[in-house]
Structure formats: C-alpha cells, structure tokens
Structure 1
Amino acid sequence: MSHPPPHPSDRPVRVLFVFAWLAGGPEEGLLRLLSQTLDPARFRIDALPCRLQDATLDPTHERLAALGITVDRAAYEMGFDDTVRYLERKIAGYEIVVSCQDVADIYPAMERLRHHPPLIEYGRSVVEAMAGPKHLTTRYVAATEAARAAAADRMPDRPEAAMLIPPPPGFVPPRWLQTVRGNLGQPPVPPEQATIARQWEALFDAVLAQTSAPPPGLFQSFLQGGFECSTQRLRSGRRVDVIAATRHDIHAESDYRQLQGFGMRTVRDGLRWHLIDQTPGRHDFASFLPMAKAALRAGTEVIWDLMHYGWPDDLEIWSPAFVDRFAAFARAAARVWRDETDAVPFWCPVNEISFFSWGGGDVGYLNPFAHGRGFELKLQLARASIAAMHALREVDPRARFVHCEPLIAIHHSAATGRPRHEAEGWHQAQFQALELLSGRLHPEIGGDPTFVDIVGANYYPTNQWIHGSHPIDIDHPLYRPLSDLLFELHARYRRPIFIAETGVEDDRRAPWFRYVAAEVARARQRGVPVEGLCLYPILNHPGWDDDRDCHNGLMTQGFVGKGRGVDPALAEAVAGFALHGQEAR
C-alpha cells in the first residue's frame, strides 16, 4: 500500500518577509530578486503585509503571485492585537523571518515566544535603523552605510551584526528570461544583482548555522520504546490491563533487553494503580516490584506512568478524596523506587490529561463516561497531578516530571463557514493542561512553573484536522509539518521536549517512523531541544474496545525463539536511524 508523501512545499528553507504594508517599490524589487535568483529547491519566499495601505495593492499581489511568492493577506482583516497573535503562530512555520519597514507587529509577536526563528531586520533609512528594539534581532541589514552605522549604534554589544547590502538596482529578469540570456552567453542576471543575491543567500546560511540545538543528553537513549499500560474500565465494566494482556509484566526483563538491541535504553512503562491500591491506606507493590527490578537488572531507564486512564474501583474520580489518594499512592511509589535504587526517577503523573478529559468528560468514550464536564475533569486531573508532584518531591527532590500530552493542529478553512477565531481557540486549548500545571491558568489549584519539567508530545497521523470538517494527512496543503508544531511547543514553554508517543498500524509503521524522525531532526536544526523519540506502543496489543490484535508496534505479542517477533520493515527503519548516528549517546 502506498502512503501520502509530505506536501512538497514544506521541504525548502522557508523565509517569511513581514512588511508594514506592501505597495511595490524597493520591497517588491527585493522579493523579486530573491525569488528569481535563489534556488527554489533550497528556499521558499513568502510575504505577510500587516496592513492594507490603500486600494492600489492588487497589482503588487498579482505580480508577486506570478513569481511564486505567497502573500498572506489574513492580517488585512485584523487589528493590531490579533495580528500579533496571528504572527506568533505564523512565524513558527518559518526557518527565517525578515522584517521590513520597521514593522511594529513583529517584536510583540517575537516577545510572546520563548524560542523564535532568527530575525533579520531590513531597513532603508537611518530613521528605520534607529527605531524599535534590537535585542531579538539576529542581523540588521541596511540599504545604506548611514543606516548600517545607525543600527550598529543601537547594538553596542554586537555592532558586527549590522551589515550593508544595497537594494537591487533596475529590473530583475524573470527565470525564463535568465534562461534566454544564458543561452545567448550572457549572465542570467546583471552582475550587481547576482552579487546582492549571493549576499542574501550567504546571510541566510550564516544565521541558519547558528540555530541547531545542543546534543541531546537528558535520557539514556534518544530512541525509546513505550509499553502500552492503559488500565481503564470500559462501559461494559471490564477492566483493561494491557500490561497483563501482552504478558509484559512476566517478560519485562526480556522485553527491555530486546529493545536494547535496537538502541533503546530508555522506555516508557507504567504502574497499575488499581492493583497497588485495592485497600485504602494500604499499598501492595507486588505488581510493580518485579518490573522495577527487571529494569534495574537490564540497565534500562524507565519513565514510569502513575496513572494511565485507570484508578481503584472504590474511588470516585470527582471527589476530593481522589486527589488525596493519588498523592498518597505517588508518595508510596517514590519510596519503593528509592529503596531499590539511587537513580534519578522519571515520573509521568497523569498520562494525557487533555485526551483523558475530552474522552472521559466531554464525549463519554472513556471512564467516567461524562458529557459536558471536560474542563471540570481537566481541573481535577491537574489537581491530582500537582498533589502527586509535591509528594514525589518530598521523597526525592531530584525527581523529574514528564507530562505527555497530545500535540495537535486545528486548521481554519473558509470553506467550512466557521470563523477563524474558533479554529484558533480550539488549537490553543490543547495547552490548557500544561497551563494548569504551570500555574498560568487557574493558579489557585497550586500549579507552579517548575512542575512543567519535561514535555512529552504524543503525535499520530490523526492529530491534524480542519475545524468543522475532517482530519488531514501529510500530503494536504494545510498540514503543518511536525517540526513546526514542536517549534511552537518549545516556543511556549522553553523546556526539554521529546516525542513521547508516535506510531500507526500495519504497513504504514516504517514510513511514518521515517517521517517523524526526519521532522525531529529538522526541529533540532531549528534549535528545538528534542531529547528523544519514543515509538508507542512498542509492542502489539489487544484493542481496548474489541480485543483485536493491533499491529502497531515494533514487537509482536508472540515469541519467536528467545524474543518476541518484530515487524521487519519497522525494524529496518529503526536500525537505519541508529546507524546514521542519530541516537543520543
């Protein structure tokens, strides 16, 4: 079966020119020069004017469109604050941002981000060079020596960041005319224009060379495997226990050692709260200790989930007692781990607060099968997570907290008839769980910035959709590359992040892994400190609802010889990833 390739427009280095307005003149000349001389396989030039100056702009837009330049006109319908918010999200999709005409909107947008693309300012006058702050400016390009000197004065700690590139003179030949000129033995473009284009290309390369993230080192291995450990009760009353169903609890050490053969020395795994806390006030860790000891014998580092959709039968999730019992369970688990090892523990208190609250509080899919109570459940789960983190730190102040949440993109399309702000609002709502844990949202429940320690992004092929319409795949023009979403996530929290879950069923497993791995590498090139990539689930398992054999892992449920069987195509992709030196150590 063939699978959709990434949309081709997402491959080159993307450069966004942000203008106060766009009405021809020198700005159009610069865009024309770069779009007609830079290699389109390497660079894509887009433009975003922030306001409509007058009604004479259509010819400019049409001329630029004819050159293959996309002009985003969305800001024409926005006020200043909305434009800033729009830019905040927009610029995450570009490797380089160039601001022109001392555009007032760009710095407020950049300052809302804790990580942003390199910003090149371009000014044609001393007045423009002297205006505005410069602390976020990577380079200042001046069209005159006087403007360059003025910009250098505004950056006394790094005057060398101000440079001179003259504006392109005269008419820039379109590509077809360049071909004709070349066939006639003439330079494709006049030498002076070619020199200016080379200066801009060298500048782009120089700023890109400074953006890569430092080598990863947070976890024992960059490539990781996650064992599905869901324990929810179904509407039928049956308890899901994926660890038991896959016999991972019995074969934990063998499973850990087999994954080490693929370079996976860090894994995600889970404690089963409903087994450990069957009697209030008493904890029986017989289901956990063999797995903990197996990990220690194998030398595998584990990120332990404390709650993966399930809780003890006698406990009401909406009650204050739920928070207290969960904190007591976390404290007891931390003590058991401390008694076994002095290794720094990694805990995921509550897996996927966002999905849990939607599935269990809004649409009645997961327990507690509620409707219209999603945010209420989100608050309760955040309270429980916060209480657990306090308890975990009491036992071991070194404890690291990993929060694994869905990473999604919700898109606006005019064809749906739904307003843009609805799509944007739902997109931003994905961050509510982390906002609650950090104290940015409802601080009265006790959130603290230090609780958002390590952010895990759970990403699957169904994680992007058009608001009011349907999911989209990687070949759709609206699809945002995963690297852009990782950039946006890091820009919001500036914390170490990793792909905590990714996978798909059947024969798309290997192509999907290659896509995610390539996007992770791309994000790291853009300065995003992605610290790991966890294939999840790593082991085929029975389906939650129907017990069907879900072929979504690297390993099968059955054994072949001394280990479990493996999916050959995914195994080859994983081996190729490790072979090219892309794991952490």
Structure 2
Amino acid sequence: MHDPSPPGGATRPAVHAGIFPTFFLSGFECSTFIWKDQGRRDLVAETQHREHVDEDYAFLRSLGIAVARQGIPWPLVDKGGTYDFSGLDPFIAAMNRHQILPIWDLCHYGYPDDVDPFAPDFAERFSSYTKAAAEYVTPRIRGPHFFTPINEITFFAFMGGEWGWTAPFRKSDEDRRRLRLALCKADIAAVKAIREVDAQARMVHIDPLILVVAPRDRPDLKDEADHETFTDTFYAWDVIAGRRHPELGGSPEVLDIVGVNAYSFGQMEYRENGPHASLEPHDERIRPLGDLLTFAWERYRRPMIVGETSGLREGRPDWLCDIVEESLAAVRKGIDLHGVCLFPAVDMPDWHKGGWLHNGLCDLVEENGRLKRVPYQPYIDELRRWQKRLNRVTELDEDPFSDPVNLDDIKHAADTMQMSSDKNWH
C-alpha cells in the first residue's frame, strides 16, 4: 500500500491503516454559483440543510458514516476581504455532537461578486480566504483536518469558461483553459496557506473521472475524444501535482488525496459543440470503472477515494453495488483506495430543470413549507449489506475517530469475493 501519512514528516501509521475513520463517506450539495439567469444560488438553503443540520448529521451517524463533505460558502462569508464565519457555528456544533469529521469544501463553483478569476490577484484573494477559514474551523473541530480547496476544477472550467452556465459566463475553449489554470494556481496557493495554519492538514482534490469516445459515424474525432479522456481529465490534477506548470508550486504532497467522481453520465460520446452525450447502458464502448480507477492510480500513486457517486431513483441500490464491486476490483489491482463517498446525503435539485433528482440517501418531501427527510430504504439496505461484507460498522461507536479503517479488511473482501471489473457495471 502507498504510505497514507500526511506531508511534513509525521509519524507513519500502521501500513494498512486508512486515512478516514469510516470507509463510506457522504456529503451535502453546497453550490453557490451564479447560475445563468437565476442569479446567486445557495444549494444549502434550497435543500434546507441549515435548518436540518442536526437531523442530517444524526442521520449520518445512524448509518455508520463518520466523514462528510461540507461547504464553506465563499461568496457568503467573504465581505470584500473581511470574513464572517459565524454561520458555520451550527454546522460545527452538529458535527461535534454527532462526531462527524468534515472535508471542508472551500469553493464549490461560486466566488464573491467583487472577485474576477482572471485577475492577477485572484490566487492571493482566494488563499487569504482559505487561510482565514482554516484558522476558524481547525480549533473548533477535532482533527485531523481535511480540505478541498476548489471543487472539480476541470468541470468548473467547462461550466464557467466554455458552456456559459455559471459565472464568469465565458464561451470559448481558450477561456476554459485560462479559467482552469487560474483555478489551479489559486488552489495551490490555498493549500500552502492552509498548511501555514495546520502543517498536517490533508487535501482532497476532486474532479470527475470520465471517458469520452468518438461517435460511431465520426471515427475522425477519436483523437479529440482521447485528448479529453487522457489529457483534459487529468490536467488540473497534473498541475496541482507539479507535473505541468511547475512554476506554480504544485507537488505530489500538494495534490495529496485524489478524489474521483464517478457517475453514470461520466462516459460520453464526443460532441464538437457543448456538453457531450452520455452513453446508453450496455453500449459496447463503455469501459469498466475499475480500469479507470487503476489508470488514475498509476498516474499519481497517491491515496484515492471515490469523491462523489450516486444513482438515481430506484437505481440507487444497484448503482451502489456496481460502484463498490468496481472499487474492490481496482483494490485487487493494487490501488490505494481509502473510501467511497455517497453523495449527496440528502436529495438535491436538478440545476437546469428544477425538481428533485432523487439521488440521495434521503429524499426530500415538502411538508408545510419544510423539506422532510425521507430515507430511501433500499439504498440504505444496500449500504448495510456492504458495510457487513467489508467488516465495517453500521452505526458509529462511542468514539469513531479512535481507530481508522483497516484497509486489510477491504483487501480481504476484494480477494475473497474475487472481484474483477465488468464493462457492464454502468
């Protein structure tokens, strides 16, 4: 196994000790983008996570999940370079009460109104905010401390730089590339600023793991499709790891933990203009997720998690089964996998069309103006089945942080079940 110890010469843990207290993680949708013609959106408000935060974290505890991705809303806390983090206090109190370890998501697509990501001072503005955020949360939360400086840099650059969905509303390949590099520069600066506060802070760098293929009637587009699969997908991670643009200060220790997002729509047919078209189930061009995970592992040799994954509606249990089986197949091939994040914990709206996606561990049902949390039991039953097969807890014990995951258990389950990748996992 790859040494999972943090940067900075900390004491090496047991060889097969995981980074996190539980193998299954979760999280809450927290986008704060300016969306097309709708203005500033706050998905934490739209899902009423603030009002239900204690209930939401109690729910995760009851599921045996001790780690959750939780956003800090940069546009809402940054008042022109001064900060008000007091809105985080109810979240921190609930995390501490229910012993849930956060992965703080510091920029989930949104930035303050007075910020220009193309401006020369963007990285400095972002790193100042992230340092202040780290100063606020680290004394208030039991460690170790985890951060995602900028969520899905690659996807963010497409949404805001080429597709015009979100600010800065650009619509060219050149602007996408410029935005991507600006985000990478800011991310690296943020990692260094956070580690001035806590030298042992861990970073989880999250981006989609995708496959793009040429249309059957356009084999001439194979090079473009391959470039997106094998170059664009990894470009941001490459910069953060110091493999590209080393002048920005990236390194493997800055990259730290690689979080790959895996969704059914992540395998696509190339389109020359706009977002690509998702492959239909059973398309012969689909590649096994286990193979894609192994490719990412071999590129960086850093600890990994599945950073987000979820099925839709009645497909949620089957999707979870497929994801875990493919993850275990990749573990048998030697990847250093530390967890699978079932995201989101509670449902979220479709950004484009409105309406609930039904992709959470809980669905949301409006009841007298409040969004009632309704656990989707078949999904939870499938989670329980895998927790037992992997020798994981199904409910958190008195101190879930006392012992990290024993990765030997995960490897033993993968070997015992003789898991291998299946191209029909999709």
The TM-score with structure 2 as length reference comes to 0.82
Residue 234 of structure 2 corresponds to 431
Task: Tell whether 2:197 aligns with 1:395.
Answer: yes
Partners of 1:481 and 1:261 in 2: CA distance: 32
Q: Is the 8 A contact 2:73 2:107 kept in 1?
A: yes
TM-superposed deviation, 1:550: 2.1
The one-letter code matched in structure 2 to 1:290 is P
CA deviation vs aligned residue, 1:217-259 (integer Å, no higher than 9, x gap): 1111111112111110112242211111222123223211211
Who is 2:56 aligned against? 255
Contact in 1 for aligned 2:92/2:141 (Cα 8 Å): no
Contact 1:401 1:451 in 2 (8 A): yes
**Distance (whole Å) between structure 2 residues aligned to residue 333 and residue 452 of structure 1:** 19
> What do residues 492-517 of structure 1 show as CA deviations (whole Å, max 9, x unaligned)?
00001111111132111111111111
Task: Verify the 8 A CA contact 1:226 1:537 in the aligned structure 2.
Answer: yes
SS in 2 for 1:538: coil
Question: What is aligned with 1:347?
Answer: 147
1:545-560 map, 5 Å: 545-558=352-365
Opposite residue 373 of structure 2, the aligned amino acid is: R
1:470 offset after TM fit, Å? 4.3
Secondary structure of 1:541's aligned partner? coil
Residue 579 of structure 1: how far off its partner (Å): 2.2
1:501–1:534: 8 Å Cα contact kept in structure 2?
Answer: yes
Give the aligned partner of residue 405 of structure 1: 207
1:453 aligns with 2:260: no
Q: Distance in 1 between matches of 2:46 and 2:269?
A: 36
1:358 aligned to 2:158?
Answer: yes
Pairing 1:305-324 to 2, within 5 Å after superposition? 305-324=105-124
- % identical aligned pairs: 34
**Selected match of 1:231 from 11, 19, 32:** 32
CA distance in 2, matches of 1:397, 1:425: 36
Which stretches in structure 2 are left out of the alignment for 5+ residues? 3-14, 393-404, 407-426
Letter in 2 for 1:265: A
Contact 2:311 2:317 in 1 (8 A): no
Q: Note if contact 1:243-1:249 (Cα within 8 Å) is conserved in structure 2.
A: yes
Question: Could you tell me how far 1:419 is from its partner in structure 2?
Answer: 5.0
* Contact 2:346 2:373 survives alignment (8 Å): no
CA contact (8 A) 1:275 1:287 kept: no
CA offset digits 1:439-475 (Å, max 9, x no partner): 2112222222211100000111011123358432452
Report if aligned partners of 1:461, 1:473 keep a CA contact under 8 Å in 2: no
Does 1:531 find its partner at 2:338?
yes
Greater alpha carbon shift after TM alignment, 349-358 vs 259-268: 259-268
| Partner secondary structure for residue 149 of structure 2 | strand
Cα distance per residue 1:255-290 (max 9 Å; x no partner)? 11211222211111110111110x223110122122
Give the Cα separation in 1 of the matches to 2:16 and 2:268: 33
What is the deviation of 1:547? 3.1
CA distance in 2 between counterparts of 1:451 and 1:474 reads 37
Q: Which amino acid aligns with 1:418?
A: D
CA–CA separation in structure 1 for the residues paired with 2:120 and 2:262: 32
Matched residues in 1 for 2:159 and 2:318: separation?
29
1:498 to 292, 297, 305: 305
Map 1:84-103 to 2 at 5 A: none
Greater relative contact order, per chain length (Cα 8 Å cut-off, separation 6+)? 2
TM normalised by structure 1 equals: 0.61
Please say which of residues 503-512 and 419-428 is displaced more in the overlay: 419-428
| 1:503 alignment partner AA | S
What pairs up with 1:200-219 in 2 under 5 angstroms? Answer: 215=16, 217-219=18-20
Letter in 2 for 1:510: P
Partners of 1:509 and 1:409 in 2: CA distance: 21
CA distance in 1, matches of 2:364, 2:226: 41
Task: Give the paired residue count.
Answer: 372
Give the conservation status (yes or no) of the 8 Å contact 1:257–1:298: yes
1:291 aligns with 2:91: yes
DSSP-derived class of the 2:328 partner: helix
Matched, 1:267 2:60: no
| Kept after mapping to 2: 8 A contact 1:378/1:433 | yes
Note if 1:472 corresponds to 2:279.
yes
Distance 2:224 2:82 in 1: 47
- DSSP 3-state at the match of 1:531: strand
2:44 is aligned to 243
CA-atom RMSD in angstroms = 2.2
Q: Does 1:422 align with 2:238?
A: no
- Uncovered stretches (5+) of structure 1, i.e. residues with no partner: 1-113, 115-213
Equivalent residue number for residue 442 of structure 1: 245
Q: 2:177 matched to 1:379?
A: no
Question: Does the CA-based 8 Å contact 2:61-2:99 persist in structure 1?
Answer: no
